[in-house]
Structures are given as structure tokens and as C-alpha cells.
Amino acid sequence: MPAIKKTSFAIVPFIIFGIILITALFLKYFQPMLPEVLQNWAEHLSIALIVAVVIGLTYEYTSHLFREEILKNLLHDSQEQVYQALKAYNVLTPVEVFRLLKEIAAQINQTPTLLYPARPDSGECTFTESVDFFDTLVNMQPKEIVKILSTWIEPKSHKNLKYLASDFIGKYQLVELADELCRQAEPVLHLGNLSEDDRGWVLNYIWAYSRCEKPMYKILGDVLRSTSDHDIEKWLLFLPVQMPSIEFGAMINAYLEREAPIADDNLLLVIQAVAALHRAQVIDGVALLKKFPDRFGLHHQEDVERIWRNYALVPEDLKGIFLSA
């Protein structure tokens, strides 16, 4: 490829001054040969041209020094901005960010979660309602974050760290850590009688693992269908509110199909879950509920209407299911 010639305009003023100076010298040299009437004119003009060249060169040199000083200052300012940007970047690297998260999570009395809304009356608190920053961080440096979170899910870790780590693993489907979650949580879950301290992180581990498996939520659906633990059912039935997904429709369908009785408060959580899924337009909630008219009675009517309205839905759509016609 031929080289592209670049023209430097810095030399242009000196060429112009050179031409003016040559003209002045030319007039000075030929002045005696000119007619007398032109000699005075030529003398004054040549002197004026020489003075103009001197002034012009002085001005150009002074301007050059001034421009150089300005450029130096601009360069210094730019270097300072770059330095500050690098300092900010260093603070916002995964190691620093997750170090701060770890310190906060381990010190607060509530259970931090990335999901919104947090479970009511559970001791959970939504860590932040905006996860855009975490989205960017995980997308840019997933390997670094996986390395950090692997230390958070060690058996000896604080329960809050376990919970928050599994939130990251599940939300962002960090499959590299999914098997470890299942390895730790399944034995504890199968022992039954989960303590209040263990319930949160164990179920969140199962949820996060299930987010990474194929088909998604298979193990979660198995747990919901087979468990007889009221609190486990309650915990799982709130997931569709936090993260509406079409897979939850099949889970709730299987849950309602089972022969075991369902407590009234968990039936209302079913209504809330179906309302959330219906509003998110991932399932036809009315069609799903129409399949199970025997699960609900007229004594549920007031609560059902309230829940349905909370999701900006029309309670009248449910007439003939468990509301009076």
C-alpha cells in the first residue's frame, strides 16, 4: 500500500515571511536603479516589509512557546484524568467490589438478596433494586467473579455470604459453580426438618443449581411437588413473584395436581404466583386456575380479589373458578 504523504502546516508562516523578506531585500537592492520618484517609495516599503518580518517572526515564536505551554497543561490534565479513571477502575474491579459486599453481608442481621421483592416476614432485604452494575461486571469478568464466589460458598462461610453468592450464581447462571451448590445442599435438604438458619441458603442453593440445569427448574419442581414441609412450599411459591418464568407455570400445575392437602396461606401464595406470571404474560393464569376449582372455596374470595387487583388484573376473570358467579 503506497505511503500517504502528510503536509505539515507549521512551516507555512516561515515560507510567507521568507517571501516577504526576499521582496524587501529585492526592493532594497534595486532601489538605486529605480526612477527618483520611486526610490523613496521603495525604501519605505522595504523597511516596512523588514519590520513586518521581524515582528511576524517574533510573534510566531512567542505564539509557539504559548501553544507549547497550553499543550503541556492539556497533556498534564489528560494524564491526571486518565490516572483518576484508572484509580476508579481499580476500585470497581470485582475483587474490590465483592470485598465490600462480603464485609456488608457478613455484618448485617438481615439476609441480603439480589431479587425483588424480598420475601415478607422472612428477614430478607433486597441488596439493591438496580442490578445494572452487576450485569456489566459479570458480563465483563465472569471468570474473576466465579473465582471469588467459589470462596463464598465454602461450607464454613457465613450464611449471608452463601445466600448472596447463590443469588449471583442463579441469576447469572454461573454453571461452573452449580454442581458444588447441589453437592452441599441436597444432603441437608433430604435430612428434613431444616432449621431456620439453614433453610434460606439450602433452598437458595437448590434454586440456583436448578437455574443452571437443563431443563431449567427440574429439581426445584420435584422438591415443590414432593415436599410436605409447609415452610419449604412457602419459600418456593414466592419465586415466581421475584423472577416470573414460564417454567413456574408447569411447577405450580404439578403442585396443585398432587393429592396432598395444601394449607390456605400457601394456596393464596399460589394465587399470587399465578397473578405474577399472568401479568408478566408468560402463562395464561386464568386457564391454569380453571383446572383446579376444587382447590379453592368461597372463603378465599376476598383474598383472591385483593391479590388479583394488586397485580392490576380483573377479578371478574376468575368467576366460575372460585368466586361466586
pLDDT > 60? residue 89: no
The string of pLDDT tens digits covering residues 145-194 is 999 999 999 999 999 999 999 999 999 999 999 999 999 999 999 988 88
- Hey, what's the torsion of the CAs at 117, 237, 209, 115, to 10 degrees? 0
Write out the E strands in 67-108. Answer: none
For position 65, what pLDDT does the model report? 73
pLDDT of residue 317: 84
Distances (CA, A) of 113 to 105, 126, 202, 266: 10, 5, 14, 22
Averaged pLDDT, 223-252: 96
CA 271/CA 265 separation, integer angstroms? 10
pLDDT confidence of residue 308: 92
- For the segment 264-285, what is each residue's pLDDT rounded down to a tens digit? 999 999 999 999 999 999 999 9
Q: CA–CA separation, 47 vs 34, rounded Å?
A: 16
Hunting for cell 464466589 — which residue is that? 149
Question: Is the per-residue pLDDT at 243 higher than 50?
Answer: yes
- In the chain the beta strands, taken as DSSP E runs, fall at 111-113, 124-126
Q: Which residues contact 209 (CB under 8 A, 6 or more apart)?
A: 170, 178, 179, 181, 182, 185, 219
Mean pLDDT calculated for residue range 290-307: 87
- What is the structure's pLDDT at 324? 52
Look at residues 91, 97, 245 and name the one whose alpha carbon lies nearest to residue 171.
245
Entry pTM: 0.72
pLDDT tens figures, 37-64: 566 666 666 677 676 767 766 766 677 6
Provide φ and ψ at 83, rounded to 5°.
Answer: -60, -45
Position with higher pLDDT, 128 vs 139: 139
User: In the prediction, which pLDDT does 6 show?
Assistant: 46
